Amino acid sequence: MNIQADLTPPLPEGRWALFLDIDGTLLEHAAHPDSVAVSAELRSLLQAVEHRLDGALAFITGRSIAAVDRLFDPVKLRIAGLYGLEHRLTPSGKIE
């Protein structure tokens, strides 16, 4: 039996983008939205995935972008916040 040292699955062929929900997907639901915490491991994983997808990673959330930025600091991604009422098209771009 041959066990791979690197268990990272290969990316599918072609160009892909990954859109991630936060509450109930990346983070467990909590009694209050401010009681969730983001681990250093999750931050690191998100940065690695964003790099591997050449930036094609974004959050989709009901939270405001400002709240997500505080929660995931220092990680900033492309994002649609408040169910699409606000968005940031680049990690360092302005919120519209």
Q: Which two tokens stand for residue 24?
A: 């109930």
Within 8 A by CB and 6+ apart from 83, the residues are: 61, 62
- Which residue out of 6, 21, 54, 69 is catalytically annotated? 21
Cβ partners under 8 Å of residue 3, min gap 6: none
21 annotated active-site = yes
List, in sequence order, every residue forming a beta bridge with 22; answer none if it has no partner: none
The DSSP-derived string for 64-77 is -HHHHHHHHTT---
Give the active site residues.
Answer: 21
